[in-house]
Amino acid sequence: MRKKVTVVGSGNVGATTALRLAHAELCDVVMTDIVEGIPQGKALDMLQAGPITGSDSRITGTNDYKETANSDVVVVTAGFPRQPGMSRDDLLMKNYEVIKATTEKIIEYSPNTILVMVTNPLDAMCQAALRVSKFPKHRVIGMAGVLDSARFRTFIAEALNVSVENVQGFVLGGHGDEMVPVVSYSSVAGIPLTDLMDAATLEAIVKRTRGGGGEIVKYLKTGSAFYAPSAAVFEMVEAILKDKKKILPCAAYLEGEYGINGLYVGVPCKLGEKGIEKIYEVKLTPNETELLKKSAEAVRELINVIKC
Active site (catalytic) residues: 175
**Residue 61 in contact with ligand APR, rule: CB under 6 A:** no
Q: Which is nearer to ligand APR, 213 or 272 (CB)?
A: 213
Does 21 sit near ligand APR (CB under 6 A)? no
Question: Maximum CA pair distance of the chain?
Answer: 55
Cβ-in-10-Å burial (0-12, 13-18, 19+) of 165 comes to exposed
Identify residues 164-203 at the interface with ligand APR (CB under 6 A).
none
The nearer residue to ligand APR, 162 or 217, going by C-beta atoms, is: 217
Among 6, 57, 77, 133, binds ligand APR (CB under 6 A): 77
Q: Judged by CB under 6 A, which of 24, 34, 159, 231 binds ligand APR?
A: 34
Length of the chain, in residues: 308
Q: Give the residue, chosen from 78, 172, 228, 279, that forms a contact with ligand APR under the rule CB under 6 A.
A: 78
Q: Name the residue nearer to ligand APR (CB basis): 114 or 197.
A: 114
Can you tell me which of 5, 14, 115, 275 binds ligand APR, judged by CB under 6 A? Answer: 14
CB closest to ligand APR, residue no: 11
Please state the closest distance from residue 97 (CB atom) to ligand APR, in A.
8
User: What is the Cα–Cα distance from 66 to 105, expressed in whole angstroms?
Assistant: 9
C-alpha distances (whole Å) from 194 to each of 168, 180, 184, 188, 198 are 13, 16, 8, 10, 7
CB of 252 to ligand APR, least distance (A): 18
CB of 117 to ligand APR, least distance (A): 9
Q: Does 224 bind ligand APR (CB under 6 A)?
A: yes
> From CA 237, how far away is CA 300, in angstroms rounded?
27
- Does 102 bind ligand APR (CB under 6 A)? Our answer is yes
Q: Which is nearer to ligand APR, 8 or 237 (CB)?
A: 8
How many Å apart are CA 288 and CA 236, to the nearest integer?
A: 25
Backbone dihedral angles phi then psi of residue 24, each to the nearest 5 degrees: -85, -5
CA-closest candidate to residue 145, choices 80, 212, 202, 59 = 212
Q: Looking at 5, 7, 13, 197, which residue binds ligand APR (CB under 6 A)?
A: 13
Based on the shown chain and the rule CB under 6 A, indicate whether residue 33 belongs to the binding site for ligand APR.
yes
Asked if 62 and 32 touch (Cβ cutoff 8 Å), the reply is yes
Q: Please pick, from the candidates 2, 81, 160, 162, the single residue that binds ligand APR as defined by CB under 6 A.
A: 81
Would you say 35 or 204 has its CB closer to ligand APR? 35
Q: Which helix (H) or strand (E) holds 73?
A: strand 73-76
With beta carbons less than 8 A apart as the criterion, state whether 173 and 252 touch: no
266 contacts ligand APR (rule: CB under 6 A): no
How far apart, in whole angstroms, are the C-alpha atoms of residue 184 and residue 43?
43
d(CA 98, CA 39): 17
Q: Which residues of 48-65 are buried (b: 16+ CB within 10 A; e: fewer)?
A: eebeeeebebebbbbeeb
Residues 104 to 163 in contact with ligand APR, rule: CB under 6 A: 118-120
C-alpha 227/C-alpha 231 separation (Å) is 6
For position 101 contacting ligand APR by CB under 6 A, the verdict is: yes
Residue 140 contacts residue 126 (beta carbons within 8 Å): yes
Task: Report in angstroms how near the CB of residue 118 gets to ligand APR at its nearest.
Answer: 5
Query: Is residue 8 at the binding interface for ligand APR, with CB under 6 A as the rule?
Result: yes
Residues that bind ligand APR (CB under 6 A): 8-14, 33-35, 38, 77-79, 81, 98, 101-102, 118-120, 223-224, 226, 229
